[in-house]
Structure 1
């Protein structure tokens, strides 16, 4: 046999065994490692030699497709090799009938095999062997086709690489004849360098795919270094976030990993995948049931014994947060994997937890046209929607793997050992989820969240919530995913009941309105946390809790009105349950009790879109009928959403003409929004993983006593339509008084309810 690197055939299930070895692969592509060291991918074995090898395999399987051993299958070998084996040759009619049946059902069950055997005059065992051999034959033919494609791609890359290297090596300055400087390159020469960089990434991708399956390091290719400056870290643009939400101090300094780092990253990702799958499946003594019986608690001593290698000891001053949660969600496993591996979709679905995120580098895009084997280096800020809880910055690799038919896993693990930073305050040990296919388009998701953090900067109000692990833990991820899957299902719903007043039945109008509401929620969540990109100024002595304000200049953003926008936010504690706070704030009938801008007018719901099984999950269009002529035509777009870990009521004034366009299916991206609203979290004293009888939300506990609530109130107000204007102290005082008055009204109303 030739020494080489195996790249698995596409669509073949793979398994990582307990010792980290990969099994279940077929030989597809052989790349000579000795030649790889020379900086290029050489052609494979001669096509005739490989062809003969595969022809021999194909001949044997093809022959077994029409002939069957009477006494043995491929799994039951005859222990007496000198004994002559007897064969049964099927008739042409039998083969044709089984071929036709194979197209409809390649895996017949016992009953189908018996029925087919009775019709064709064959024993069920003969039918079983024929179908086994046929499946083997089809797999072999598929592998040959994949081999040809990979070999062609390999040879093309090698030829292109040699051509560009030769062209670049002879590049010279047209004036002096010396080496070409970057600023003096012609367009064609610059194009060659860009192509060389692209080829480097493509070769790295193929090499990474090979390396991670056989455990061998990725070879660094001595291609000509690109003169381009290193790619800066840029967060994926989110609609409506504006320039206020740039990269933080830590994440701004992070760039793509170097060539020398890639083998280490791949090895770390493979080990993290094995650890995640085991942590998702193991019970006691690794995971112990909590005192209330609703959650699992990690046994840290057992964890160290079970996973002694890991990513190193816990840093001094850091504490461990580990949690696990399981739920069945209304989304198929393929779509779930796509959301997790697409940074824009992922940050949108989890906008209440992810304040910003970016993919720094893609080491592998996966194989077989899906995300199996995909490797991405990412940087993310995780948040609690309050200015009192610092975000958690993390630099990590995300690895996706298919473990069996219908079973996938996605794991994150920090790369702090590769790029240590003295300002890092969060380290992700193997965290992620195991996804298993369920009937009728559902999926079972087991989420593991395991981090080490320094949470000394958390405000005392949120200490209890954060220290229990509920602020960033697996429960919050699973609850958010479950709610968002229901929201996505409502977007695609076609059987909308038409009997209810105000229900939007126009499919295009529903999609446009939900897309607009999604942007509103993302903009609110991205601007309310204590991100390193925000500079909050605290205003004290107003009689209310401390109010934090910041400004942003909006220019050429169709999703925001131009000018100076003042954001103000405050967080405080209420002695009532989060469910009661949520129901009070989302109800249009009680809005006049706290909404100063409605000026005491009657608020009426004109239209709504249900977003899930809980009646509180919906998008509404509200009208304020006020005696004030300036507000008589005011509309409010509002989204309310709740799950067992967090609730939101987010709204924004909208233009009537623009909303008519949206309701008729028009583009919602050009509707200007300045979202305000509320984020409601439990205070951490009493948290259950179960939903209320209505299907969601956090209510009183079994004994009837209420847990408290942590309420964040945030406003965004346009204080000047000229972006170059200076912010006046009067504007700050006005906004401060507005938010302070709103807080006092909410406290007064809910205290009366609670009395």
Structure 2
């Protein structure tokens, strides 16, 4: 069976060898003597420099002879002289002037004779080696030509697998079309490489092809997903993860896969640039959406694509642009570092890992960086299944100062598991602007099976707000707001004056970890086994629970943690629900754990443009002794797509350590809270959908420590208590909002 990647890999090795050779030697050394070997000497124009065998003779010129330019005398070296010179040449082919003088005295020769002998000997050795290498290259080149001819003849007689007739180009699969194009290119490439290679000294093609064939024969199809990769770069072959645990077995790309991955990434980048900059008829204005991709025009513009859309999948495509307060260098760093990327977009990326780094790019930046990655994308609700993707990420700087980062799924690789979604070319264009700003154009283009999405979330997902470009840009803009607020140094207000800047930074860092912990535990994911309680136990809210064991985690209390979450629809606007839940004065209306006590705001400061983006430190004033030493850390944030109110009880002594500049990483947190999303595309603050006018989707999630012993078993009473807690909270929220918004 024809393996086109074998040729690509051979060319890759050959070019690498020639490149290293050209760096270590004179690029003009095409069989000639190096310039340093031709020392300037008096009378050199009358000397000849023949290439001789072992019985070499060195000529001399009589200065008194008027016809010395025509008459030359040759002095043949004796057998002993040649033997001594040969022996010394093996030890040192480049003797210095002192060594040449010593040899001339020992052998009875002139220093110039010794010098010329060594020059001629070096030239002779090079010529012999060059002839040998060229003969090997010619033989290998001829072998490649014959093999390529066989492949071309086989493709010319290819037949349709279904009908047995000749296969036209339009009826062939993507891989077969790729083979035809690749073989035509290989013919020209082999000729060009052979001409270049014949001018350089180095290992013959047979050396590379032998190793390549051995690797190909040992790489059986069912073993490809478990092979390791070793490369020259420091990060090559290492795996970076972000999330609760490893995403699962992913196929490890091999050297044979690399040419296909590179070609796919380059084509994806070209497509993304045209998608980001294109207008009508590729993008058209929709009725309830700013832009809709014209699929007919898309397939006419990009006829090849990654492969036909799977049966039952639908297309989601969206585009969004914004100017953010972040320079392009930091933005590229976030996108190309899996840990930073997962942290900044924690509401969207539940887990991520870098399977393999194929290229680290140019030293000092990520220009040309190529990474194979795996990630899960989520909506903050257990009612929406996460989307698992296996893709390559490619970063490139273009001549106009624009940086492009593109993702595209690697469904064509052997051993790639099937998923419910795949990424067509998606990513962003980043344009540097003055003053530390950047313009970002984001494109999300996926093919997905949404049959498992719950009905109340179907319209949100279908219109592109669930996983689309607008949500990515909103999350990036929110992150930039947080950074700007932390640098601005705005002092908090309230009864507790935090005058220490380190204390304020520690409080913000603690809140950031709280938000990440909440986001990673509220959605549906293959890493979390949600269990839905029966309708008789949970009522109409479909409560889902799961348990986790916390051991040796300084940021989480040790023991058994029970998580519970539910999502439901409210006929009330997202803004109204958000303001109600974040207001400390209305907290005792829904917070059962406050026991009816008044909530006092001890410290408060904004961390974004909107007044709703704030960080608060709350205290519950009641007669319960167990809560006198507890505070509540709360962050509320809102953007163009969603709103969040996230909080966690914090021990008073631990909070005092943070406010005085202590390390916030060792403060144990169990965050709970709310995620509020629109129930469809928002138009001018309202919503167009079937449920009602301007409704919202609310997810309530709790984390409770039910036992301090990690090995303990969960009792039915603990499950019943948490179930009652979340149901009562939902009922109180509904009752309060219905009363205030009849």
TM-score, normalisation: structure 2: 0.69
Q: Report 1:79-94 matches (<5 A).
A: none
Matched residues in 2 for 1:660 and 1:527: separation? 27
Q: How big is each residue's C-alpha offset from its partner over 1:67-93, in whole Å with a ceiling of 9 and x where there is no partner?
A: xxxxxxxxxxxxxxxxxxxxxxxxxxx
Match in the other structure for 1:441: 436
Query: What's the secondary structure of 1:557's corresponding residue?
Result: coil
C-alpha contact (below 8 Å) 2:465/2:471 kept by paired residues:
yes
CA RMSD of superposed structures (Å): 3.2
C-alpha contact (below 8 Å) 2:494/2:604 kept by paired residues:
no
The yes-or-no answer on 1:396 pairing with 2:391 is yes
C-alpha contact (below 8 Å) 1:606/1:622 kept by paired residues:
yes
Matched residues in 1 for 2:497 and 2:693: separation? 34
Matched residues in 2 for 1:552 and 1:635: separation? 24
- Match of residue 622, structure 2, among 621, 626, 639: 626
Query: What's the secondary structure of 1:404's corresponding residue?
Result: coil
C-alpha contact (below 8 Å) 1:513/1:668 kept by paired residues:
yes
- Match of residue 254, structure 2, among 252, 255, 258: 258
**Pair 1:708–1:535, CA change in 2 (3 A):** same
- Match of residue 514, structure 2, among 484, 502, 520: 520
Match in the other structure for 1:111: none
1:419 Cα deviation from its structure 2 partner: 4.1
**Pair 1:317–1:51, CA change in 2 (3 A):** same
How many equivalent residue pairs?
A: 544
Q: Report 1:382-393 matches (<5 A).
A: 382-393=377-388
Matched residues in 1 for 2:446 and 2:11: separation? 41
Matched residues in 2 for 1:231 and 1:49: separation? 36
Match in the other structure for 1:299: 294
Q: Report 1:272-421 matches (<5 A).
A: 272-292=268-288, 295-404=290-399, 406-419=401-414, 421=416
C-alpha contact (below 8 Å) 1:548/1:568 kept by paired residues:
yes
Match in the other structure for 1:45: 22
C-alpha contact (below 8 Å) 1:616/1:642 kept by paired residues:
yes
Match in the other structure for 2:527: 533
Q: How big is each residue's C-alpha offset from its partner over 1:326-350, in whole Å with a ceiling of 9 and x where there is no partner?
A: 1111111111111111111111110
Matched residues in 2 for 1:729 and 1:700: separation? 41
The yes-or-no answer on 1:36 pairing with 2:13 is yes
Q: Report 1:70-85 matches (<5 A).
A: none
Gaps (5+ residues) in structure 1? Answer: 1-31, 54-210, 691-697
Match in the other structure for 2:505: 511
Match in the other structure for 2:737: 750
Matched residues in 1 for 2:734 and 2:436: separation? 44
1:255 Cα deviation from its structure 2 partner: 3.5
1:429 Cα deviation from its structure 2 partner: 0.2
Matched residues in 2 for 1:418 and 1:618: separation? 46
1:261 Cα deviation from its structure 2 partner: 0.7
**Pair 1:699–1:587, CA change in 2 (3 A):** farther
Match in the other structure for 2:550: 554
C-alpha contact (below 8 Å) 1:371/1:400 kept by paired residues:
yes
1:406 Cα deviation from its structure 2 partner: 3.5
Q: How big is each residue's C-alpha offset from its partner over 1:647-703, in whole Å with a ceiling of 9 and x where there is no partner?
A: 11111101111111111221111100111000110011x414x7xxxxxxx6679xx
Matched residues in 2 for 1:378 and 1:572: separation? 34
Match in the other structure for 1:207: none
Matched residues in 1 for 2:349 and 2:698: separation? 19
C-alpha contact (below 8 Å) 2:351/2:377 kept by paired residues:
yes
C-alpha contact (below 8 Å) 1:510/1:609 kept by paired residues:
no
Matched residues in 1 for 2:253 and 2:24: separation? 36
Query: What's the secondary structure of 1:613's corresponding residue?
Result: coil
**Pair 1:306–1:34, CA change in 2 (3 A):** closer
**Pair 1:312–1:489, CA change in 2 (3 A):** same
Match in the other structure for 1:708: 695
Matched residues in 2 for 1:48 and 1:563: separation? 65
Matched residues in 1 for 2:593 and 2:329: separation? 45
- Match of residue 478, structure 2, among 475, 483, 500: 483
C-alpha contact (below 8 Å) 1:699/1:706 kept by paired residues:
yes
1:492 Cα deviation from its structure 2 partner: 2.4
Matched residues in 2 for 1:735 and 1:517: separation? 24
1:34 Cα deviation from its structure 2 partner: 7.0
The yes-or-no answer on 1:646 pairing with 2:633 is no
The yes-or-no answer on 1:570 pairing with 2:566 is yes
Query: What's the secondary structure of 1:447's corresponding residue?
Result: strand
**Pair 1:268–1:528, CA change in 2 (3 A):** same
**Pair 1:607–1:404, CA change in 2 (3 A):** farther
Matched residues in 2 for 1:525 and 1:235: separation? 23
Match in the other structure for 1:593: 589
- Match of residue 431, structure 1, among 426, 436, 450: 426
Matched residues in 1 for 2:527 and 2:24: separation? 56
Match in the other structure for 2:452: 457
**Pair 1:395–1:583, CA change in 2 (3 A):** same
Matched residues in 1 for 2:718 and 2:265: separation? 51
Match in the other structure for 1:100: none
C-alpha contact (below 8 Å) 1:624/1:633 kept by paired residues:
no
Q: How big is each residue's C-alpha offset from its partner over 1:103-136, in whole Å with a ceiling of 9 and x where there is no partner?
A: xxxxxxxxxxxxxxxxxxxxxxxxxxxxxxxxxx
Q: How big is each residue's C-alpha offset from its partner over 1:380-434, in whole Å with a ceiling of 9 and x where there is no partner?
A: 0000010000000000000011113541110000001114656411010000001
Match in the other structure for 2:711: 724
Gaps (5+ residues) in structure 2? Answer: 1-8, 31-185, 194-204, 230-236
C-alpha contact (below 8 Å) 1:639/1:649 kept by paired residues:
yes
